[in-house]
Amino acid sequence: MTAPAESPLTALIVDDLANQGWSHQHLVLPADLTTALAEECRARSAAGSLAPASVGRGEGQQIREGVRGDRIHWLEPGQSAASDAYLALMDELRQRLNRELYMGLEDFECHFALYPPGAFYQKHLDRFRDDDRRAVSVVAYLNADWQPDQGGALRLYLADGEHDVQPEGGSLVVFLSAELPHEVLPANRERLSLAGWFRRRGGAL
């Protein structure tokens, strides 16, 4: 498959981030990779590897299902062929963002996120108050045949109003982590995604 750094897709993402701070690309991940990642997420869930997500960081981390109800598992290189392929695609995107927008992105962290029916994530920003490293957020959706009446949209709070993104399998949303509040609305079916962040060099504020 074509690496994003060599594709028109990556140029579109770069232009969108420069002009409006976010980008939504429909059905752009290879279908076989999307399917493989969805199967891996479900396999990790069946094996008990996905854990309730927390809010906060460090000693202040808490599991608060009234704030977010997803279950997560972090990706590391070498865990599977599908995960490695996705991480490679993201690294190509990182390089393009650095080359075109001079963002100084050092690395990428990413986890599977499984939202059971009815689960949600309240409105928030992706950057911690005491850590400024997260610069660009990336969400990849892994849901086959998603329908709008199933809910589960990512609601973006833009300067000119709200914008809902349906979690269609193979679609990608990219946005500036510190500038775009968002939330995950509840769905009536299981909702799968990969949530990740390109990070700059930095540390505690």
Position 59 in a domain: no
Condensed to tens digits (0 to 9), the pLDDT of residues 97-117 reads 999 999 999 999 999 999 999
pLDDT tens digits, one per residue of 134-190:
999 999 999 999 999 999 999 999 999 999 999 999 999 999 999 999 999 999 999
Which tokens sit at 171?
Answer: 């679609």
Tell whether 132 is covered by a domain.
yes
Residue 60 resides in a domain? no
Give domain status of residue 62, yes or no: no
Q: What CATH number does residue 35 fall under?
A: 2.60.120.620
What is Dmax (Cα atoms) for the chain?
Answer: 43
The pLDDT tens digits for 31-53 are 999 999 999 999 999 999 999 88
Residue 61 lies in a domain: no
Q: How far apart are CA 81 and CA 32, in angstroms?
A: 12
Please, which pLDDT band fits residue 205 given cuts at 50, 70 and 90? very low
Domain count within the chain: 1
Q: What is the mean pLDDT of residues 62-67?
A: 61
Structure-token pair, residue 74: 């972090």
pTM for the model stands at: 0.90
How many Cα atoms occupy the beta-carbon half-sphere of 188 within 13 Å?
A: 5
Q: Per the structure block, which two tokens stand in for 21?
A: 């701070």
Assess if residue 149 is contained within a domain. Answer: yes
Domain coverage including residue 145: 4-52+67-200
Residues 79-91: pLDDT tens digits? 999 999 999 999 9
Question: Is residue 205 in some structural domain?
Answer: no
Assigned domain for 175 exists = yes
CB 10 within 8 A of CB 92: yes
> What does the alpha-carbon distance between residue 12 and residue 9 come to, in Å, rounded to a whole number?
5
CA 109 – CA 116 distance, rounded (Å):
23
